[in-house]
Structure 1
């Protein structure tokens, strides 16, 4: 793309807010805050609020935010759960904040108060238990999350704010887990749910709502970045989550600078459950070629590039049957053992069982080089 201002952040417009509270007249004639069990959708655009009412129930009404803000439209829905999408990047912002009639007086990350560049005021004035005091004395944990509501009109984001201590702790864990799997590039389907909870404090049961961000996927899908878009109903877009391309372990092993790096890629393929017989043969051959090349280089022996360069290897080439000479590397010994086991048609479980049977109380992962070498020698002798 061309013709953009490079010193400005690129972000979608804010279309409206998702709220969990409202105000009602009190006995003294003054408005008092009230928690809502269902979502409240507000926007300057009436058509968006009407669409929300169609989806989640409720009556659209004219409404002025507390603090004499510009009049908007809102609907107090009949739903405590709505489906949304987390946009790419980091949709979560968190600070400890104190607001007054003049606006935000403090904004702190828990260590530094950002507005005046000073240490945390609450901690300095009230000690480690400052958070137990009321909002008139100390800052409040403020979490803001931006989401996409795909079934409402407009291209942009909707913001939900909460002062919940529990949400402040739970939201980052969910967001960071998904970001780890998608690299921050996925559009992730979630449910935004107002969940009623209770706790016992000072002998009294206190009930309170918590906004829960629930990823519509399994933990495995979240961590691997393969969250399926089909979990969003009723009409899922063609692609809601980043679909990660299959990993080319063989290419990575060929590009590895050392045999040890190639061994590490072999282990990663095993741990991920991606190992196949063909891939196993490729990785073993690559590792052995790299190990032979390293040994030849250390001995000053000329090396035939065609025999040692893994980049010249075909995808269906069988493992090289190389003898081990004074090799004390357990990883490389295990490579050779897997090669021998593959010729017998053993899978990894069968191989581990055979090893443990011959070495009671010892697994291949905990075995030393001498035990592995003895086991390999036995396998070769029985094969002969």
Structure 2
């Protein structure tokens, strides 16, 4: 068995990104691309095949695209989908922090109390006070939420990363996800619905409109989200959780009597009873109706009666006497105590011959 580096994160392959905006060219010479808030989801990837599959599924046109500030071309599709069905992987798929990015990369990453890169207290809080998040992103860190989801109807095994910089979306996303993780302990997949919700807020007399990505468990009832881990099959088909279980049909009991009538010897008929006993279809004391019938069939076989027609087969072998004993038969030394003596047909097996009493 292989070994792993214990401090290494075991992350699934990132197949692409899920975005809520895009940029369009600026008509001004040398102008920066103009950001556009999208009412539908935008999927981007380095693989054209993934984007083409997304376009087939969600609508839209595949186009080549280069992210702002980068020089490596990717592919994207501005879909027609206002909602996505996805699956949360096991564990905690949400990562959140306050981040400040410059041309040199991420210069600050904070949890709201401690700035993790320098180890110093939160810079924005110390500088601007409790309402620091209302300031321009050029001055303070931006709330950044990243969540990995799987899109089960697209190719290959991997995750698509959704990134949001909404302060309100960060709070709503974390609260809903933590409730589910508390129930499942992150030990199972979880189907979810994601959609873009347009919201507005009035602050200091000014109305601001902004999109929020909502993410909730996609289950028939709330109880399913809170009742612990679910199976992979249920994650792929959540509706199955609300379907009634298929009741098992009545057990089919073999026709032991018909089998016994096909036997040619008493021992073979006795073997049929043993099988029925092991299967739990006859009682050990032989008091049930099937045991009685099997005993009568064995008795007929011992008397030379054709159990199929009821006629005497005319065998030369003599039948048992009034005591049920065949001439010339005896019990050999060492015969098992739990086996009825061979001298007795099933209908006349003595109770003492079977452990616990009764017929065989």
Does residue 178 (structure 1) correspond to residue 168 (structure 2)? The answer is: no
Q: Deviations over 1:11-34 (max 9, x none)?
A: 211111001111123454331211
* Structure-1 residue corresponding to 2:92: 90
Between the aligned partners of 2:192 and 2:107, the Cα distance in structure 1 is 33
Between the aligned partners of 1:229 and 1:185, the Cα distance in structure 2 is 11
Cα distance, 1:96 vs. partner?
0.4
Compared CA separation, residues 7 and 94, structure 1 to 2 (3 A) = closer
Return the match for 1:222 from 215, 220, 225: 225
* Structure-1 residue corresponding to 2:147: 145
Does residue 24 (structure 1) correspond to residue 27 (structure 2)? The answer is: no
Compared CA separation, residues 113 and 190, structure 1 to 2 (3 A) = same
Aligned counterparts, 1:99-248, within 5 A: 99-217=101-219, 218-225=221-228, 236=237
SS, match of residue 146 in structure 2: strand
Compared CA separation, residues 68 and 177, structure 1 to 2 (3 A) = same
Between the aligned partners of 1:36 and 1:195, the Cα distance in structure 2 is 11
Task: Answer whether contact 1:189 1:229 (CA < 8 A) is retained.
Answer: no
Aligned counterparts, 1:1-384, within 5 A: 1-26=1-26, 28=28, 29-217=31-219, 218-225=221-228, 236=237
Between the aligned partners of 2:160 and 2:197, the Cα distance in structure 1 is 20
Cα distance, 1:237 vs. partner?
8.7
Compared CA separation, residues 82 and 42, structure 1 to 2 (3 A) = same
Compared CA separation, residues 205 and 130, structure 1 to 2 (3 A) = closer
Task: Answer whether contact 2:188 2:229 (CA < 8 A) is retained.
Answer: no
Cα distance, 1:149 vs. partner?
0.8
Indicate the structure with greater helix content: 1
Aligned residues: CA RMSD:
2.3
Unaligned runs of 5+ in 1: 241-384
Cα distance, 1:231 vs. partner?
7.6
Cα distance, 1:63 vs. partner?
0.7
Between the aligned partners of 2:142 and 2:5, the Cα distance in structure 1 is 36
Compared CA separation, residues 200 and 24, structure 1 to 2 (3 A) = same
Task: Answer whether contact 2:192 2:216 (CA < 8 A) is retained.
Answer: yes
Task: Answer whether contact 2:188 2:232 (CA < 8 A) is retained.
Answer: no
Between the aligned partners of 1:237 and 1:120, the Cα distance in structure 2 is 42
Task: Answer whether contact 1:48 1:153 (CA < 8 A) is retained.
Answer: yes
- Point out the more displaced range, 104-113 or 1-10: 1-10
SS, match of residue 141 in structure 1: strand
Between the aligned partners of 2:178 and 2:96, the Cα distance in structure 1 is 13
TM-score (norm 1): 0.58
Between the aligned partners of 1:238 and 1:207, the Cα distance in structure 2 is 35
Q: Deviations over 1:303-327 (max 9, x none)?
A: xxxxxxxxxxxxxxxxxxxxxxxxx
Between the aligned partners of 2:232 and 2:239, the Cα distance in structure 1 is 7
SS, match of residue 113 in structure 1: coil
Unaligned runs of 5+ in 2: 242-360
Matched length? 238
TM-score (norm 2): 0.62
Q: Deviations over 1:198-224 (max 9, x none)?
A: 233344443221000021123322221
Compared CA separation, residues 200 and 129, structure 1 to 2 (3 A) = closer
Runs of 4+ residues over 4 Å off in structure 1: 226-232, 237-240
Cα distance, 1:69 vs. partner?
3.9
